[in-house]
Structures are given as structure tokens and as C-alpha cells.
Structure 1
Amino acid sequence: MDTGNFLAGIFFFLLSLNGFISSSPAPSFCPDRCDCQHPHHLMCTNRGLHAVPKPGTRTSEEVLIFSLGGNFISNISAFDFTRYSNLVRLNLQFNQLQTIHLKAFEKLSKLEELYLGHNLLSNMPTGTLQPLKKLTILYGNNNDINKITAELFANLGNLVKLRLDGNSIEVLQDSVFKSLPSLHYLHLEFNKLQHIHRNAFCQLTNLRFLNLAHNKQSAVRNALTFSQLKALKTLLLSDNEIQYVGNHVFQNLKKLSKLSLSNNRISRLDSEALKGLSCLREFLIDGNELEEIPAGLLDSLESVEELDFSRNRISNVDSLAFSQLTHLRVLKLKNNMLTSLSGDIFSLNNVLYDLDLHGNNWTCDCRLEELKRWMTAAHSQGKLLTVFVQCHYPTTLRGKYLDYVNSSQLQPLGNWTHLCKSQAGPEEGREGGKEEAKMLQQGREEAGIQGDQGGPEVAASSSLQERRKPKKEAAGKRAKGRQRSNIVTTTDPPVTSTPSPAGTQDGNTTDPNTGFTTVQSRGKFDLLRSDHEEALPVITDPCIFNRHFITNVSVDEVTSSTVTVYWTTRDHHRYTPGLGPGLEEVHYRILFDRFGTPDRFPRYVYTRGTARSVTLRELSSDVTYMVCVEGVVGGSVCQVAPRDHCTGLVTLPDEGVLTSDLQLVTVATLAGNAVLLLVVGGVWLGRGLKRRLQRRKSAVHVRHMYSTRRPFRPTMATASLSADFTSYQSSRPARLAPLEEGDLIEFPCDRFLDNSSIRRDSDMQRFSD
């Protein structure tokens, strides 16, 4: 049998079989306009039904799920489900149900899940749900129910989840859920609850989740309301009208891990309002009217990890407000009325990494200097995400971020001078006597500028610590150096690196690879002067060192993840007498951070000795970075920003592996195509040669069918042959006389053709009998 005919036969057989199957009638138990392909599931969803469809001639005992959602059913009669006694799940959501007969579920003793949500039910007759002894999930959400009673839930001892959200319930009566000892999840959000009886939740000893959000409650006063919810883990009271939270109202919720009071009208929490919440991990009270966070209010939250006080009116936070919260990881204080925070307010929160202080009216004076140091130290050690503290006052600093404000700019304002005595004093050149300047500078040195001393990536932080002298000795020596620097004229203000076209303008160097221009301070051009023309200051401050002695910052060997930074320094040994013995050596810190992105996370690398280059690693591909080189003088670094001696770079895209892979794939594809073309060409040529050979062989057989005119076997002549024909003998020599068409004798072809499988040609058909 021909292979093509065989495959065609199989194909038509499958088509006929498929037509037979598809044309087979639906099971006899399937209701009209429903899908019953699965024997356990009657799918009647979105069929435009106005009533529960009647079952077929016989009822399947295997039907476990009946889906009727998305129709226009308005009434459930007593006989709609009598023939579905084995149902486990019944879905009637998104219909127009208004009434349910008292005996509608009487035969559904095995039902475990009942979904009645998104209908028009206002009430259900008492006893409607009583036959459903095995019910575990009941959805009655998004209806018009305005009242629930304890009798409605009678005999539902196995119920685990109850949804009544999106109704119009106003009151929870006494012991309304007493028949539900196994309940774990209770949804009552988006109702109109104004009053909750103190015993409304009695017997719910296994309840884990309670949602009372988006209601009309005005206060949480009674300590007995939640007293029996021993297993509760989540309590949501957000988006109500709560103005008052009484003492000890949550004291029995020993396992509560999340409490939300967001978007209420709470202006004050009593000192014992959060008592007993020792296991609470997340406390949300954002969107209220709190004005302060006093000491001791949060002390009972021993395990809390996240606090959200955003969008309140907080203007005062006690310095001890968070002192007991050793597990605090996330703190949100954004969009309040804060102007200042104590410097040591977060000193005991060692695992705090997400601090949101955005959207406050910060006054950037000396009271924020300690906070700035703590933030800098935490940033350098990789312990804290970027914190945005944007100055609002004074007007000279408005819009600037505290991270990039010089400590000398944090001056005392108004009557706050007495609070800044112990803080860092002003920079050099401040008006006043030498004794006052010495005292302020000594206080600054005792406080220590150590916020930027690096973290895990610091190469020589330990050596810096070893080289430091005791506080009193170091402070004395540095104070002397400060006195000498008071006579030095003020240097030029720092400028930053900005993108510019390639080239050099006004002495500014431009990296041809990145297009970033490094604006040099005028101190760099002192190299063109003679020694007697220079007026270099004595080095007692890292900012002065950066400005006058670090030059020619550049980058090279840029790849997708690494870059090498080079710089040069002028001879500074004769300008460092104020550092004291053992501190003459200046170290260098390389700061690098993403440029132009809202989220900033500066990182640092420290070098020692005479090193004038460093390779930065683990960069991200195709990202713009800003790299700055700074001096570490006497263990201190410059706090001025924008920083001098910076340059920009853009890492290369990580395309090496991908490009090579694409090239290999391209070459392999071309090779495969070439081989395929060769094979196809060979097959085509072979078939052509075969056809030619067959034609030549056929032509040979045809020539054998012709012969010259000779005596024609007179013994076998018959009557049908002419006597003249049989006796005719040619007198012409075969080689001399050319043959004519009339000289040929035509013979039957089947006598001369061999028995080979050569296909008959159309030219040979005329030789057939």
C-alpha cells in the first residue's frame, strides 16, 4: 500500500472518530445549558440563567461541585438542590438572590463550602443554615444584610471562615458568634458597625484573624471586648472614626502579631494602651492626629519590628521613645511636623535599617549634628538604607539634604544656643575670642567625627583606630592646630562634578569616555606658581587637604563591573605639623555612588600609605557612578558636600558573553543551513540523473521494437496477412538505401518489453494491443 494513502486513511479515521465523540449526547444527568464534561463538576457559570436548572432524567451520585455564579437567579426554592445530596461545594455568587427558602439546603448535609456573596440578600430565615453541619466556609459578603443573630449560625460548629464584609451591619449583639468555636477567620470590614457588645466575640478562642476596618466605631474602651481572643494574630481597626483607645484594651492578646489603627482620628494614646502586646511585630497607626511620641508608650512592644507613624502631626519624639525596641527594623515617621531629633534616639536600635523621615520641616542647626553623624556611620557600615532629611530652615539651606550639609553650616538658631554647647562648634574664621574657639573645637574633637569611617568594605579602618591617640591628648594637639589655622584666609567654596561635552574648558578636565567634567578648585593651579607665590594653609582639616593637595582624579580600565581610580597629591609633609607624632601620614578614602538616581547608597574604600590608585569592584553594568577621592587627616574626613575632586564614569554594558553566544549561534545556524542545502541539492541532482537514466533505458527498448523488412515467417502466416506482403523481399542493401517510414514494421509492444519495473512512458501507449 502506498504510504501516502495509508497516512490519509489514518487521518480520515481520526476525524470520523472525533466527530463521533463530539456528536455523542451529553450525560443524561446534565441540566440544560450547562457543561458536564467532568462528572464531579456541574459548570453552569455565566449562562444567563434566571433559575436553578432542573437536572436531567437521572441524577449522578458523583456530582460534588455545582457552580451557578454569574447568572440572574433571584430565588432559591425548597426543591432546587434536593437531588444533589452529595454536594461538597455550592457557588451562587454574583447573582440577584433576594430570598432563600427555609428548606433550600435541607438535603445538603455533606456541603462544606457555600458561596452566597455579591447578591441582594437582606436576611435569611433562622434555621436556613442549620442542616449544614459540615460547613467550613461561608461567604455572605457584599449583600444587604443589616442584622445577624446567634440563631443564624446554630449548628455550624465546624465553620472555619466566615465573610460578612460589605454589608450594612450596625451592631454585634451579645454572644452572636457563640456557636462557632472552630472559627479562624472573620471578615466584618466595610459595614456600618457602631457598637460591639463586650461579649460579642465570646467562645471565639480559636480566632486568628479579625478584620473590623472601614466601619463607624468611635472608640475602643472596654478591655473585655477582645479578652477572649486568646489565639488572635491579626487585628485590623483601620479606617474607622476612633478617637480614643483606652488602657489595657489589648492586654489579653498575647499572640497578636499585627495591629492596625491606621486612618482614624486618634490624637493621643494612653500610657497603658498598648500594654500586653509583647508579641506584636507590626504596629500601624499612620494617618491619625498624634502630636507626640512620649517615653514609655512603646516599651511594652518588646518584639515589634515595624512601626508606622506616618501622616500624623507629630512634632516631638522623646529621646527614649524607641530605647526598648531592640528588634525594630522599619520605622516610618514621614509627613509629620518634626523639626529636630535627638542625636542618640536610635543608638540602641542596632537592627534598624529602614528609616523614613521624609516630608518633615527639618531645621538644620547644631541639634541635628549628632543625628547626621549617626546616619553617616550607619551608611558607611551598610546598616541603613538612604534616609532623606531635607532642610526646611534656615532659608540658606532650604532644599538641601542633611547628608550633604557641612557641619560648619549647622549653626545654632535663635534661642537654641544653649543646646549646642556640647555639639560641634563652627569652623575656622568664626568671630570670637581664641579661648571660645578653642573650647568649641575641643568639644568637637571629643565628640569625634567618625561617622564616615567605613563599614565592611573599609580596607584600613582597624589601622586607623590603632593610630588614634587618647581623647585628651589628641584634642589638645588638634586645638593648637586649629588656632594656627584661624589666621588663614578663607578658601574658595567647593564645587562639584557635572556632565559636560568632551574637552577642557577653563582648566576643567573632561573624561573623554564618560563626558563628565571635573571642575577643579583654584588651589590646583598653584602648581604653576613659584614657592614664594603660594599661600598654602597648614593642614589641620581634611576639607582643606582635599581642596589644595588632591589633584588629577581620573578613571581608567572601565569594565562592566570594575574601574580603576587614579589621583595625584602634592607634597604635604611640611604642611602637617599640627597632626602630631605618628599622625603625619595621610590616608585616602574613595567614595563612589550611583549618580542621578533617587535612591543613594554611598560606599567607601580606604587606602594606606603612598597608594595613588584603587580598583573598585562589584559595580553594576551600564550604570553612571560618581567617584570622589578624599583625604583622611588625623582620623577625620571632610563632611562637605558636594565634594571636591570627583569624576563621573559609566560602566560598560555586560554584553561580552551574550555577544559571543550570539556569534556561535549564528555560525552554527549558517553551517546547518549550508549542510541542509547540500543535502537538498544532492537529492535533487540524484533524482535528475535517475530520470535521465530511465529515459535512456526506455529509448533502447523502443529501438529494439523496430526492424528492417525481411521475410515474414511464411510458415506462421495467417489468412489475415496479404500474400503479397509475405512474399515481399527487399532488393535494396540496408547500408546503401536509407530507411523510410514505410519500411518499418509495427509489432505489439508487450511481446518485446521485459518484466522489469520500468514505468510506461506516454510515448509507448500507441504500441499497446
Structure 2
Amino acid sequence: MANYGFFRFLLSCNITLILFGASSGTVCPERCDCQQTQHLLCANRGLQSVPKGSPAEIAEGVRVFGLAGNFIHNISAFDFARYGNLMRLNLQFNQIQTIHPQAFEKLSKLEELYLGNNLISTIQPGTLQTLKKLTVLYINSNHFKDLTPASFSNLGSVTKLRLDGNSIETLNESVLKSFSTLMFLHLESNQLHHIHRGAFSGLTKLRFLNLSDNKQTELRDIFTFSHLRSLITLLLSGNQIRHVGNHVFQNLKKLSKLSLSNNRISVVDSDALKGLSRVREFMINGNELAEIPAGLLDPLERIEQLDFSDNRISRVASTAFEKLAHLKVLNLKNNRLTSLSGGVFGANGVLFNLDLSGNNWTCDCRMEKLKAWMTEVHSQGKLLTVFVRCHHPASLEGKYLDYVNNSQLVSQGNHSLSCVSAHRGQPMESRGGTVLENPVPRRESDMKRGERERTVWVQGDEGKREDGGKLPAEKKKQRKAVSGRSHPTLRGHQGHRKGPLTNTTELSVETTASATEPNSSSHDDEGGVPSSQAPEPAFQERFDLLLQERVRYHEGMTDACRFNRQSILNVSVDHATAHTATVHWSTAPDSGADVKGELMFRVLFDRFGHTPRFPRYVYTEGSARSVALHELRADSTYMACVESAVGGVLCQVAPRDHCVGFVTLSGSEHAGSNLQLVTVSALVINALLLLLIGGAWLGRVLKRRIKSRKSAVHGHVRHIYSTRRPLRTTMATTCATAEFSGYQSSRPLAEVGDLIQFPSDRFFDGGSTRREGDVMMPRFSN
């Protein structure tokens, strides 16, 4: 009977579960999903109204109700009356036009309400009054034009409010006063053209404010943002602002990001940025600024990113960025700059990304300091490649400033601007007393006539010969006439040429008749003196050497790819520390003499296998065969590649054949030596431990062997017994034969009391006999 009762109990339980499961299947409204506990999901189901059919006891357990992406037009007073414990309600992307004032009356626990992307134009007063715990409210992308304070009363717990994508035109003073805890406010993409000076007065905790894409025309009221002392991000891009007045941001002590991009700003008052000492990112691109005056950016003490791109800037003050010691990224592309002083970035020691592209650069002597600064910071690995492409003059159009010689900058300079070339501290092409210029090609008519270019050896003292004597009078005249011609001069690069040319101070080019026409009296095209006279025999050897060198220069190597492939050898890295490394390479013998134009080397180094890529370049002069890389990251893998620049042109193919990888040390520079010392010490300690263990083991083995040998020397016999008197005469003869009965009859048998004990250490087991004196005695046994 007991078993029968137990089975009946199990059957009743199963029936109850089956009935509950069947009934639960009917709880979930039609077209909705109730698989997740406390979630009623009805999104994207084509519903035209809020579904009904859930029992009251089931509706009270729902915490999340999703109705987004349907075709609901109205919200009645009874749609959510049974969902008293609801915490999140999503009604986005419907066609809601009206909401009953009592629609949310029972939702006292609601924390998130999403009404975005509907057709709502107004919210009746008191509709949201019961939502005291509401923290997130989305009313974005609706048809709101005016906001009234009664619509948002009693919402003191809201931290995020989205009103973007509406048609709000004005923001009155008391609309947002009830949002005392608001931290994020979105008002972008409206029609705001007027913001009352007290509109944000109650938002003392606001951290994010987006006013982009509105209709504001100016920022001149100092009280508009004066109460936003906790604001971190302020976005004002995409408006119609023309003028930014003084002290308009003065009270924004915590502001970190300010965007004024894509407006029509042409005037920024001198004190407009006062108070922005904590701003790290300032964007004012896409405006109509004509200059960056001195002192305007000085209040931005901690600025890291500046964007002035797509303006009309034609002048930058030399001290415009002087106080910005933390500046890392500066964008000046697509402006109207023609020249820029190199000293303008002298105080920006951490600047690594500078964009100067899209300007009409005039490459003359005014750009000499900028080129020197670029070369210096590139050599230290502190700056990414800066693209400064020359537009003027026509002879340098399309070339990059990195590959233009200082001699070309000076020759194209406007001397009325009083350009001064600071040779001290300049790159290789501007150091020394002489500069190598491109030679003038020979005319085709001269080549047909067999003429060739010759040079005249001239010393510093006028009127003196090489041997110390004075030149003849006619030679003086010839020298003056030749040196006074308007032909371009060929000057020797300091340290570049060898032999007798190293003492040359000036080499003038003269076109003379060939040996086949010694009496020719032809003149050059510029009206020079007749060139029929040949130089003196004393200068003939020097003429030939110079001619050979110049012809070789004309016919030299001009292909950077060919130089990389044939001349660069043995790329290696040594002296790698945690933050620095030295790259070495070598070149084929006499490879530099075959190069036409200036020879430079560029070393590319980048962290291997890291994204995004962060390549850096170091430029060196043609005589260098090593370069030090700085500001590397500790314990990182790097790839360094060496390539050449011949005549300002790089090879378009990546220099993969001349690359080397290396790994920086971790920690300090002495980490490698310390690690080696620790390793050696550990090995020595391990060796000593092995010796001690081996010695202990060996001593134990020897001790055991010695002990076993000692134990083997002594016999195992403990006692030996013998008689002390002759045997008794009376003994049994039944066990003996008749032959021995008479022999033993006279000897009595031994008894226990008659035995004498002897020590056994005199007897040995090593053999069957022992020697005692000279007598061999038989060994006793048991």
C-alpha cells in the first residue's frame, strides 16, 4: 500500500507539471517571445498595438518589454497598467503619434524609456511625472519643436537625455531645470538658433554636451556655458558660427575636448580660449580662419591634438605653438600656407604627427630653417614623415622639401625678403663652404661640332699662378672675362672631391673649340669672349682631370633602385638597449662616385607585427654608414631597413633586401649584463650543489664498502667447544663396529659440563687450514 501511495504521488506531480507547461505556453502573447525569464520580447513582429493576453500575475514578473520596430500608432492608458515591475520599455522605431497622459502611471519602477524614432510632437504635462526612478530617456528623432518645463517635471534621476534629431528652435531657461543629475545631453541635429543664457544653469553635473548641426551663428555670451563646471566634452561642429568672443569658455575648468569644426569662423578673439587649461583635443577645422596669431593658443597648456585643416590660413606666427609643450598631433593641411619658419615647432618636443600637405609651398630660402628642423627631428626618430611638396618655383614643382638642396632654396630665394641662411646646425647639403650644383648640360650643337666643356683653374688670390708666379696680363684678362660670364658655376662639395680639386674655391665653365678646330673663334650664345685660346700647359692636366670627373658625373648612376641593389651591403644592428639601437651598413667600393646627384640614405624602422603601423624615418647624409635610433619601446621587436635617395628620388620598391630585425632590452640599459651575471651565478651555484651532492653520495658508498669488507674478515662462528680430559671408558658400543670397539673402549664420552669455551677470533673462514708458527693446523668447523 505504501508503494502504491508513492506511485500515486509521482503521477500527480507529473500531471501537474504537464498542465503547468501547457498553461505556460498560452501565457506569452501572440507573436512575442517569452523564452527568457522576465523578458517579453515583441520587437519587429509587425504589431499595430501593444499586445494583450498576459495574465496579471505573469505581467507583474516582466522586467524588460521590447516593442521596437513595429507599427504602433498610439499608447493608451491601459497598455502597460499590469506591468508594475517593468524596468525597461523600448518603443523605438514605431509610428507613435500620441501618448495618453496616464500611459506610464503604473510604471513607478521604470528606469529606461526609449521613445526615439517615432512621430511624437508633444508630451502632455504629467505624462512622465510618475517615473521617479527613470535614469535614461530617449526622445530623439521625433517631431518636437518646442519644449515646455511641464513635460519634463519631476525627472530628477535622469542621467542621460537624448533630444537630438528633432526640430527644436529655441532652448528656454527653465526647460531643463528639473534634470539636476543629468550627465549626458544630446541636442544635435536640431534647428537651434538661440540658447538662453540660463538654459544650462541647473546642469551642474553635466559631463557631455552635443550641440552639433544646429543654426547657431555666434558664441559671444559668457553666461551660456558658465554653470557647466563638470563638462568634459563640448561639441559645436556643423553650425553657422562666425565669431567666437572673449571668455566664452572661461568657466569650463574640466573641459577636455572642444570641437568647433565645420562652421564659418573667421574671427576668434584673443582671449576666446581663456580657461581651457585642461583641453587635450581642440578641433577648429573646416572654417574660414586666415591666420594663427601669437598668444591665441597659449591658454591650451595641456593640448595634445590640434586640427586647423581646411581653413584659409596663410600666416602662422613664429610663437603660435611656443607654449604647447604637450602637443603631439598638429594638422595644418589644405590651407594657403606658402612658407613656414622652422622655429615655429622648436618648443614642441613630443610632436610626432605633423600634416602640412595640401598647401601651396614656395620652396625658397625662407624654408631653409624648416628643412633643417625636419632633418634634425627625423634623425632622432621623433617625427613621422612630413610631406611638404613644392608648388613654386616651376623648377622645383612636385619635389618634396626633404630632397631639395639648400643651394636650390637659396638660388630660388627672393633676396628682397632678406633671407638669411643659418648654416650652423644645418644638414649636410648646407654645411661647409661650398655646394655642389647640378651641371649645365651641353648643347646639342656643341656636341655636333665636337666641342667640349673645359674649366679654368682659379685660386683665391687674383693674378697668381699655381707655381706661385704671376699670371701674364692676357691671362688676367681672360680670367676676368671668363669669371664674369653668366654661365652657371660648378662648385665642389666640401670633402666630396679628392686630389687637386680639394683646394678649389671656384670653377668657372667655359666652352672652347675642340682640338680639331684650334683656330675657331666661335662665341657662346650669351656674348662671352672668344674661346679659341687654349689654357696654358701648366693647367692642362688639371683640365683633363676635371673634365673626366664631370663627364663621369653626367653619366653617373641616377636609379635609386639600382643603387640599393648593387651598393648597399651588410646591414646590421648593435648596441641595442631598452630605448636605443644603432644601425650599420656598408656600400660597395667607389659606389658613391658613380651617383649622379646628391646621395642620401633613409633608415625606416617600425615595430614588427603591431597594428596600426607606426613607421618612422631617419635621414642621413651620403657619407654616413650608421645611424642611432632613439625613443624605441622596451622589449619590442623592430624591423629596420636602409635605402638610398639619389638626386632626391627614392626607389618605389620597398627595400626588403636590406632589412634587419632586432629586439630591444627590457627594463634599464644594463638589464642584459645583469641577466648574464644572474645566469652565470646560477650556473656556478648549481655546479657547487652538484659537487656537494656527488661528494656526499661517493662518501656514503665508500663507507658502505669499507664496512662490508670489515664484516667479511671475521667468521660467523660464535663459540668453539673442546674437551678438557680424555673420554670416559664406559661408552656404548652398539653403534660402533667390532673393529673400533676396542679402540674406543678406553676413552670415556664427553659431557656438557666437561666442555671449555674458547674465543673464536683466532679462527678464520678464509681457507681450510691456517698457519701457526711453522705448523699447518686444520680448521675447526661446526
User: Partner amino acid for 1:45?
Assistant: A
* Distance in 2, Cα, partners of 1:485 & 1:605: 26
Gap change, CA 1:216 and 1:383, over 3 Å in 2:
same
Q: In structure 1, what is the equivalent of residue 51 of structure 2?
A: 53
Q: In structure 2, what is the equivalent of residue 411 of structure 1?
A: 410
User: Partner amino acid for 1:284?
Assistant: M
Question: Do residues 185 (structure 1) and 192 (structure 2) align?
Answer: no
Gap change, CA 1:412 and 1:316, over 3 Å in 2:
farther
Q: In structure 1, what is the equivalent of residue 394 of structure 2?
A: 395
Contact 2:188 2:210 in 1 (8 A): yes
Write out aligned runs for 1:180-259 (5 A).
Answer: 180-259=179-258
Q: In structure 1, what is the equivalent of residue 371 of structure 2?
A: 372
Task: Measure how far apart 1:291 and its partner are.
Answer: 0.1
Question: Do residues 567 (structure 1) and 587 (structure 2) align?
Answer: yes
Gap change, CA 1:557 and 1:387, over 3 Å in 2:
closer
Q: In structure 2, what is the equivalent of residue 261 of structure 1?
A: 260
Q: In structure 2, what is the equivalent of residue 351 of structure 1?
A: 350
Q: In structure 2, what is the equivalent of residue 642 of structure 1?
A: 649
* Distance in 1, Cα, partners of 2:85 & 2:97: 25
Match of 1:602 among 617, 624, 634: 617
* Distance in 1, Cα, partners of 2:622 & 2:416: 39
TM-score using structure 1 length: 0.60
Q: In structure 2, what is the equivalent of residue 592 of structure 1?
A: 603
User: Partner amino acid for 2:35?
Assistant: Q
Task: Measure how far apart 1:35 and its partner are.
Answer: 1.0
* Distance in 2, Cα, partners of 1:613 & 1:345: 26
Question: Do residues 323 (structure 1) and 322 (structure 2) align?
Answer: yes
* Distance in 2, Cα, partners of 1:166 & 1:399: 46
* Distance in 2, Cα, partners of 1:570 & 1:485: 22
Residue 602 of structure 1 aligns to a residue in which SS? Answer: strand
Q: In structure 2, what is the equivalent of residue 513 of structure 1?
A: none
* Distance in 2, Cα, partners of 1:260 & 1:184: 19
Q: In structure 2, what is the equivalent of residue 521 of structure 1?
A: none
Contact 2:321 2:348 in 1 (8 A): yes
Contact 1:367 1:423 in 2 (8 A): no
Q: In structure 1, what is the equivalent of residue 567 of structure 2?
A: 553
Task: Measure how far apart 1:31 and its partner are.
Answer: 1.9
Residue 152 of structure 1 aligns to a residue in which SS? Answer: helix
* Distance in 2, Cα, partners of 1:416 & 1:176: 64
Contact 1:326 1:348 in 2 (8 A): yes
* Distance in 2, Cα, partners of 1:557 & 1:243: 56
Q: In structure 1, what is the equivalent of residue 37 of structure 2?
A: 39
Residue 145 of structure 2 aligns to a residue in which SS? Answer: coil
Q: In structure 2, what is the equivalent of residue 98 of structure 1?
A: 97
Question: Do residues 628 (structure 1) and 639 (structure 2) align?
Answer: no
Match of 1:487 among 486, 506, 514: 506
Larger radius of gyration: 2
For residues 187-215 of structure 1, the C-alpha deviation after alignment (integer angstroms, 9 at most, x for no partner) is 00000001000000111000000000000
* Distance in 1, Cα, partners of 2:644 & 2:19: 76
* Distance in 1, Cα, partners of 2:627 & 2:300: 50
* Distance in 2, Cα, partners of 1:368 & 1:591: 21
Task: Measure how far apart 1:601 and its partner are.
Answer: 3.6
* Distance in 1, Cα, partners of 2:307 & 2:627: 45
Contact 1:213 1:237 in 2 (8 A): yes
User: Partner amino acid for 2:75?
Assistant: I
Q: In structure 2, what is the equivalent of residue 297 of structure 1?
A: 296
Task: Measure how far apart 1:230 and its partner are.
Answer: 0.5
Write out aligned runs for 1:69-108 (5 A).
Answer: 69-108=68-107
Task: Measure how far apart 1:602 and its partner are.
Answer: 2.8
Gap change, CA 1:537 and 1:420, over 3 Å in 2:
farther
For residues 712-742 of structure 1, the C-alpha deviation after alignment (integer angstroms, 9 at most, x for no partner) is xxxxxxxxxxxxxxxxxxxxxxxxxxxxxxx
Residue 267 of structure 2 aligns to a residue in which SS? Answer: coil
Task: Measure how far apart 1:22 and its partner are.
Answer: 13
Task: Measure how far apart 1:569 and its partner are.
Answer: 4.3
**Between Structure 1 and Structure 2, how many residues are aligned?**
520
Contact 1:205 1:230 in 2 (8 A): yes
Write out aligned runs for 1:453-532 (5 A).
Answer: 484-488=503-507
For residues 55-76 of structure 1, the C-alpha deviation after alignment (integer angstroms, 9 at most, x for no partner) is 3234323210110111100000
Task: Measure how far apart 1:420 and its partner are.
Answer: 1.2
Task: Measure how far apart 1:175 and its partner are.
Answer: 2.3
Task: Measure how far apart 1:485 and its partner are.
Answer: 3.3
Residue 421 of structure 1 aligns to a residue in which SS? Answer: coil
Gap change, CA 1:200 and 1:25, over 3 Å in 2:
same
For residues 555-590 of structure 1, the C-alpha deviation after alignment (integer angstroms, 9 at most, x for no partner) is 46999xx99954244699xxxxxxxxxxxxxxx996
Contact 1:565 1:613 in 2 (8 A): no
Q: In structure 2, what is the equivalent of residue 507 of structure 1?
A: none
For residues 368-409 of structure 1, the C-alpha deviation after alignment (integer angstroms, 9 at most, x for no partner) is 111111111111111001100000100110111101111111
Task: Measure how far apart 1:162 and its partner are.
Answer: 0.1
* Distance in 1, Cα, partners of 2:299 & 2:627: 52
Contact 1:568 1:612 in 2 (8 A): no
User: Partner amino acid for 1:39?
Assistant: T
Gap change, CA 1:282 and 1:537, over 3 Å in 2:
farther
Residue 279 of structure 2 aligns to a residue in which SS? Answer: coil
User: Partner amino acid for 2:229?
Assistant: K
Task: Measure how far apart 1:33 and its partner are.
Answer: 1.8
Write out aligned runs for 1:740-751 (5 A).
Answer: none
* Distance in 1, Cα, partners of 2:289 & 2:637: 43
Contact 2:567 2:591 in 1 (8 A): no
Residue 313 of structure 2 aligns to a residue in which SS? Answer: coil
Q: In structure 2, what is the equivalent of residue 113 of structure 1?
A: 112
User: Partner amino acid for 1:378?
Assistant: V
* Distance in 1, Cα, partners of 2:369 & 2:215: 44
